[in-house]
Chain A
């Protein structure tokens, strides 16, 4: 049986925030008498993550995904509840725990700006007590996997965003952590760089059996990496389970575009009880429920003179968009 590497129970986090009325009057009032209130940003969440799993955290901006990640890696103290990550209380930040995890943030960087990335890697190697030869071996291996061999000796400020992100990954993985927390790792990258990064993470997970917790607003990151997703809505978990189950539940119908040889067939199809989305002279689009796709296709192919036929899945972004605004999913 695969053991749990992350155990979260009834976890909550509250922050004190201040609010300000607009205009000069509001600013002066805010300066002299700041009004603060406690805001519960994470509300009694519980979940478990198994060793080697890749889990995607989905949610709108401000839903609480990053706060959860930061509590899991020990940066933020929880207000209530308990967290155990590989048997440790993360917020104690014990040396053994820190040597086992890493956090990668797409919008923040740890590399030394004026020096080539290799200098930052060597510095990290000495912090993680990795000897010179072992560090060299790991840098070589990871730079080959990330395809950044040539960029190791160019100052960070001269690298492109994609090259910088890959170097950030290498800096964060030099100690070969078992648990990776990734907060929007592909932010701002072009399509190819995104794809390469995803390929790398997949390979890293397969080779090392590392557990990966990921947040991203790029749905391709989630769909190609994560079998399981945890949806966060206003600080609470609205869904925790398999991604494909969620997608099926949220998009129970498929669209079939049928190209007929004659206008007559289009009219016949329209009148034969199908749910028509739209039609043109020779084409008609119908909506069919997932569980009756085969029988519907049989009927169409047997009774109508069809030139061509396309089955369209609804766009994934559209479905995920629904998740971000919905409160609860019973699946």
Chain B
């Protein structure tokens, strides 16, 4: 693998997808407005939950806002990269255009995961970061090096888990051909990540930690922000992220052996 080549190709991906998106100005404007309204709506919903006694399962509203911030960043990443690319896998397989991807001298997973970009998702990422900066101020978080490294590691792991889950589901299209619903279900599970893990019942906590590790995605990075995270939890998230990433990669390579291409 030649990193320089992959970097160059990625720059071209960025260029072509931004140029494609800019062809439709109104669409971008609507997307930007939707991002702002969606964040306002989510904060409003959260404030209703915390209206009565000011805390849920030990989390105060100001602390829960950190989860919202991380969720907004992840949702922004989903809208910028995962949604335009990973939903396209289904189309590639149904219509047989995956043929063109597989015949290029480039890693097919890299190509189908990063070819497109939705620039309007950047605003959501920025809004998420702004919310996090605000949360750092109101929660009086101590900004030191270990905090920054740990937050970076846990957020990166969250991105890997989310990507792997989505990619895994999309790969099953090679056998099932149409799996739009599965990716939609996954997306609705992601909404759960807006709330602290211990606000759910024990069974749901187990379900969202073991089977669909949505809880890891937002709760552990938020605990790092609040200085509440235990080391074993951070290590566990790193292991889960690695296992998910490697499994999704192996699964993709395995699935390609069953690719039959669409008929002409």
| Interface set of A (CB-CB < 8 Å, partner B) | 15, 66, 70, 73-77, 93, 95, 98-99, 101-103, 105, 107-110, 112-115, 119-120, 122-124, 126-129, 155, 183-184
Bound-state Cα–Cα, A15 to B24, Å: 42
A-contact 0/1 string along B92-122, CB 8 Å cutoff: 0001110110111110000000000000000
Q: What total of A-B pairs shows CB separation below 8 Å?
A: 76
Q: Is B259 touching A76 in the complex (CB atoms < 8 A)? A: yes
Q: Which residues of B contact A105 (CB under 8 A)?
A: 99, 264
Q: Which residues of B contact A129 (CB under 8 A)?
A: 2, 5
Q: Is B12 touching A103 in the complex (CB atoms < 8 A)? A: no
Contact-residue bracket for chain B: 20 to 34
Bound-state Cα–Cα, A261 to B8, Å: 78
Q: Is B97 touching A110 in the complex (CB atoms < 8 A)? A: yes
Q: Is A108 touching B12 in the complex (CB atoms < 8 A)? A: no
Bound-state Cα–Cα, A98 to B104, Å: 6
Bound-state Cα–Cα, A75 to B258, Å: 10
Bound-state Cα–Cα, A73 to B105, Å: 13
Q: Is A66 touching B264 in the complex (CB atoms < 8 A)? A: yes
Q: Is A108 touching B260 in the complex (CB atoms < 8 A)? A: no
Question: Given the interface contacts A73-B103, A75-B99, does A119 sit within 8 Å of B19 by beta carbon?
Answer: yes
Q: Is A98 touching B103 in the complex (CB atoms < 8 A)? A: yes
Bound-state Cα–Cα, A184 to B66, Å: 56
Q: Is B9 touching A75 in the complex (CB atoms < 8 A)? A: no
Q: Which residues of B contact A122 (CB under 8 A)?
A: 12
Q: Is B105 touching A107 in the complex (CB atoms < 8 A)? A: no
Q: Is A76 touching B20 in the complex (CB atoms < 8 A)? A: no
Chain B nearest CB, measured from A302 CB (Å): 55
- Which of these, A15, A127, A155, contacts B260 with CB under 8 Å? A15
Pick from B97, B105, B259 the residue with the most CB of A within 10 Å.
B105
- Which of these, A70, A75, A123, contacts B16 with CB under 8 Å? A123
Chain B: CB-nearest residue to A215? B264
- Which of these, B20, B104, B261, contacts A112 with CB under 8 Å? B20
Bound-state Cα–Cα, A184 to B264, Å: 9
Q: What are 8 sample pairs from A and B whose C-beta atoms fall under 8 A apart?
A: A66-B263, A66-B264, A76-B260, A76-B261, A101-B103, A108-B97, A126-B5, A126-B8
